[in-house]
Amino acid sequence: MSRIAPPPDLPDFAEELTARLDDRDRLAALRAAVRGLPPSERDVLICVWSGLDSTEAAQALGVPEGTVRTRLSRARRRLRALAADAAPPAGPHQAGPHQAGPQQAGPRNDPGAQGAVQRPGPIRPANMETP
């Protein structure tokens, strides 16, 4: 037995498993956020994610190029807000200093903080009064 080489060390798969679980949770949150977008904004995102530029997306959707850029801007803003709202709670496989609990101050908990994520409200013309 002493002449036989010892078996090779097997790598620890815990870190890879943790990364895969985190990726799965982030992907689920992203899917939920995309489903929360209005269809017109979702269509623009799909065009852009498919590799179309704004001119090609405008042709594909049958809208002016400026409309594509506006919808894309709104979609990105709403997607950030929806993704922040749909982020999965920190579980046993998610740990680290970047995970702020509800009792800790941070951009999501302090509306006055710089970089705070705020859900966009309805868009109203400037001459329209709010109820």
pLDDT in tens, 82-130: 767 656 555 554 544 444 433 434 444 444 444 444 444 444 444 444 4
Which CATH number is 22-86 given? 1.10.10.10
Helices (H), the chain: 14-35, 39-49, 54-61, 65-86
Q: What phi-psi label fits residue 110: left (phi over 0), alpha (psi between -120 and 50 degrees) or beta?
A: beta
Residue ranges of the domains in the chain? 22-86
* pTM for this predicted structure: 0.51
